[in-house]
Amino acid sequence: MKFLTLPGRRWLWPSIALVVILLTNLLLSPGFFSVRIVDDHLYGSLIDILHRGTPLAFVALGMAVVIATGGIDLSVGAIIAICGATMAVLLKGAGLSPALVLPIVLLVGLACGLWNGLLVAFLDIQPIVATLILMVAGRGIAQMITDGQIVTFHSDFFSLIGSGFFLGLPVRVLVVIGFAILLALLLRRTALGLFLESVGGNAAASRLAGIEARWIRLAAYAVSGICSALAGIVLTADIKGADANNAGLWLELDAILAVVIGGAALKGGRFALGLTLIGVLVIQSLTTSILVSGLPSQYTLVVKAIVVLAVLFLQSPRLQRLRSK
């Protein structure tokens, strides 16, 4: 069992969960692991899981950073809707070039994140509540931007991001991998990651240690805002249109779930980007498996609820105390 020698036991449970889900699929449909090459593209259920999991992966990375500080960001779905709407309107209505639209949309996401961060860090509002405001108002703002219409557009550049392939792999998957590496370098090769965890672990102590907790919190929500903007860009580019009502609906819940499956405590104090991505794969393969297995898709929510409860039991402080006895 070379598996057990992997560094740290934290990798064990999420990885086992992923392997179990994938193996169950193999039993249900023997062709599950087959990856074919059609028109120079890789095709197959595994590639499909990666492809569909991209928006969730972006959002979950941002959520992991926010949860590390002991916070939560409920507004990610609404930010996706706002960014998607902005992108579609700028491309279609204003006819701007993609090279200009891309940074503008990222700035919009950043602004949304800063708004959340301002409320949490500087007005001391609980994260659930502070981000609830944007969650409620955000879809209204997105609808205002699109004037209540579903705005469609055409752009070669964004088609490439949304549904294009590079070297046989979906471009969006490559983008998310690149982004995750960048984020990991930023957080783990500098002291930033450590600051995030110390603020989540004990805000008062970290302040005494000379860390500006408020600015760190603000930065965490800003990162989450940018992540949501990226997810919004991918989702909108994929369907070549902005749907203010449904873009990214319920994604915040899946993202929180992914982070929790990745072993992060909701109380904050630690984060692991790699584990979060495994959590994303667990959730996405769960969703895909339910579709592949022929089980009606309405069972997805029930299965997810059971998974949440199971993970909570394993993580519950009281149960862990019992186990250590």
Q: Which residue matches tokens 């001391």? A: 124
**210 binds another protein per the rule CB under 8 A:** no
- Which tokens in the block code for residue 291? 């579709």
Could you tell me the CA-to-CA distances from 182 to 121, 161, 177, 179 in Å, in that order? 25, 18, 9, 5
Smallest gap from Cβ 136 to another protein, in A, equals 5
Smallest gap from Cβ 125 to another protein, in A, equals 6
Binding another protein by CB under 8 A: which of 51, 52, 92, 139? Answer: 139
- Is-contact 43 36, C-beta < 8 A? yes
**314 binds another protein per the rule CB under 8 A:** no
If the CB atoms of residues 17 and 135 are measured against another protein, the closer one turns out to be 135
Stretch that binds another protein, among 54-62, 158-166, 270-278, 298-306 (CB under 8 A): 298-306
Biggest distance spanned by C-alpha atoms of the chain: 65
Smallest gap from Cβ 322 to another protein, in A, equals 10
Smallest gap from Cβ 170 to another protein, in A, equals 28
**141 binds another protein per the rule CB under 8 A:** yes
Range 27-30 contact pairs with CB under 8 angstroms and sequence separation of 24 or more = 28/289, 28/292, 28/293, 29/292, 29/293
Please state, in angstroms and rounded to a whole number, the distance separating the CA atoms of residues 106 and 110: 6
**Nearest of 233, 203, 244 to residue 220 by alpha carbon:** 203
Binding another protein by CB under 8 A: which of 7, 30, 294, 298? Answer: 298
**316 binds another protein per the rule CB under 8 A:** yes
Q: Which of residues 254-273 bind another protein (CB under 8 A)?
A: 256, 260, 266
- Is-contact 274 284, C-beta < 8 A? no
Q: What is the DSSP letter of 118?
A: I
Please state, in angstroms and rounded to a whole number, the distance separating the CA atoms of residues 94 and 101: 10
- Kind and range of the H or E run holding 151: strand 151-152
The number of residues that bind another protein (CB under 8 A) is 45
- Is-contact 52 288, C-beta < 8 A? yes
- Is-contact 293 28, C-beta < 8 A? yes
Q: Which of residues 25-84 bind another protein (CB under 8 A)?
A: 72
**97 binds another protein per the rule CB under 8 A:** no
If the CB atoms of residues 182 and 295 are measured against another protein, the closer one turns out to be 295
**92 binds another protein per the rule CB under 8 A:** no
Please state, in angstroms and rounded to a whole number, the distance separating the CA atoms of residues 300 and 148: 30
If the CB atoms of residues 34 and 126 are measured against another protein, the closer one turns out to be 126
Binding another protein by CB under 8 A: which of 302, 323, 324, 325? Answer: 302
**308 binds another protein per the rule CB under 8 A:** yes
Q: Which ranges of the chain does DSSP label H, i.e. alpha helix?
A: 12-28, 45-68, 76-92, 98-117, 127-146, 156-163, 171-188, 192-201, 203-208, 213-239, 251-261, 273-292, 299-315, 317-324
If the CB atoms of residues 37 and 302 are measured against another protein, the closer one turns out to be 302
Binding another protein by CB under 8 A: which of 317, 323, 324, 325? Answer: 317
Binding another protein by CB under 8 A: which of 16, 19, 23, 136? Answer: 136
Please state, in angstroms and rounded to a whole number, the distance separating the CA atoms of residues 219 and 24: 40
**126 binds another protein per the rule CB under 8 A:** yes
Binding another protein by CB under 8 A: which of 96, 114, 133, 160? Answer: 133
Residues in touch with another protein (CB under 8 A): 72, 119, 123-126, 128-130, 132-141, 143-144, 148, 244, 253, 256, 260, 266, 296, 298-306, 308-309, 312-313, 316-319
